[in-house]
Amino acid sequence: MLAMIKINLLPARKTKRQSEPGQLDVAIGAGALLAAAAVVFFVVHRPMANERDAFKGESDALAGDNAAKRNKIADLPQREAAFKAEESRNAAIKQLVTTIVVPDNVLHELGEILTPARMPTMTRIMAERVSDGPKGDPNRRLALDWDPKHVWINSFTTKGDNFTLEGSAQAETDTNQLAKRMQASVYFAEVTSPLSTRFEDKTNSVTYYKFTISGKVVY
């Protein structure tokens, strides 16, 4: 008996590969990198960014606060200079009161002239001359809004009927107003126009005018 041999001429099918060699390792590595990046972002970078933003906000707030404070103290040197000038003026007046040997009425009149909103003691005719009325003299007119705090006296000396007043003022107009009031007062006579000299206090960056007024006192 002849045996039958069946020959299959079709090529044998290859078993399909699930994946190329090494692809699984690459996928695992990529996943690990993504996971590590996520950990770095959420655990390290994001908190640092939040902390940076918080610090920036605090820094901006502090800078704004410092700028506001600098604006408030910008004129501090001028305020200190004005305060020192006021202290010097008060000290000079106290020294004047304790050392001058003149009649009380003259000293009282000088104090009235150096008091805000006070007028010198005047005759009726003189009061008309210093007013802005029809009989007023423009050269003798008194500025009603003048502030005598702008003037401080350093010394007031007398020799017989003659007196010499030395002081300082913020402006020459202040010395002129002081002289006009003394000229209008019944307690002073032959009062000269003030002789003033500009003086710079470089320490406090302030300019003053030193002046001298002379005349006679009426007892």
pLDDT in tens, 74-97: 666 777 777 776 776 666 666 555
| pLDDT of 187 | 94
pLDDT band at 190 (very low <50, low <70, confident <90, very high): very high
- Are 63 and 120 in the same domain? no
Q: What pLDDT score was predicted for residue 133?
A: 86
Q: Please report whether residue 17 resides in a domain.
A: no
Beta strands of 94-169 (E only): which ranges?
A: 151-159, 162-169
- Cα distance between residue 18 and residue 26, in whole Å: 15
Q: Give the residue numbers spanning the domain of 61.
A: 32-72
Q: With 0-12 CB in 10 A as exposed, 13-18 as middle and 19+ as buried, what is 216?
A: middle
% of the chain at pLDDT higher than 70: 64
Beta-bridge partners for 212 = 166, 195
**Average pLDDT estimate for 62-79:** 71
Q: Is 167 helix (H, G, I), strand (E, B) or coil?
A: strand
Contact 166/194 with Cβ under 8 angstroms? no
Query: Which amino acid is it at 12?
Result: A
Q: Where are the beta strands (DSSP E) in the chain?
A: 151-159, 162-169, 188-189, 195-201, 206-217
Domain boundary among 17, 43, 72: 72
The span from the CA of 97 to the CA of 108, in Å, is: 10
Which whole number is the average pLDDT over 116-128?
A: 93
Confidence of residue 99 (pLDDT cuts 50, 70, 90): very low
Residue with tokens 């103290």: 73
pTM (global) more than 0.85: no
* 1 lies in some domain: no
Q: How many CA atoms lie within 13 A of 193 on its CB side?
A: 4
Whether 36 and 117 map to the same domain: the answer is no
User: Total domain count for the chain?
Assistant: 2
Q: Does residue 84 share a domain with residue 67?
A: no
Residues 52 and 125 in one domain: no
Evaluate if residue 24 carries a pLDDT over 70: no
Report the candidate in 114, 120, 119, 106 with the shortest Cα–Cα distance to residue 161.
106
Any idea what DSSP says for residue 7?
-
Rounded-to-integer distance, Cα 199 and Cα 183, Å = 25
Q: Which pLDDT belongs to residue 101?
A: 47
Mean pLDDT score of the chain, rounded to an integer?
78
140 and 63, same domain (yes or no) = no
> 88 lies in a domain?
yes
pLDDT of 131-171, one tens digit each?
A: 988 889 999 999 999 999 999 899 998 898 999 999 999 99
Amino acid (1-letter code) at residue 147: D
Residues 173 and 145: beta-carbon distance below 8 Å: no
pLDDT for res 199: 87
Tokens of 39: 């950990």
Q: Please give the pLDDT value at position 47.
A: 66
**Dist CA 92 CA 109 (whole Å):** 17
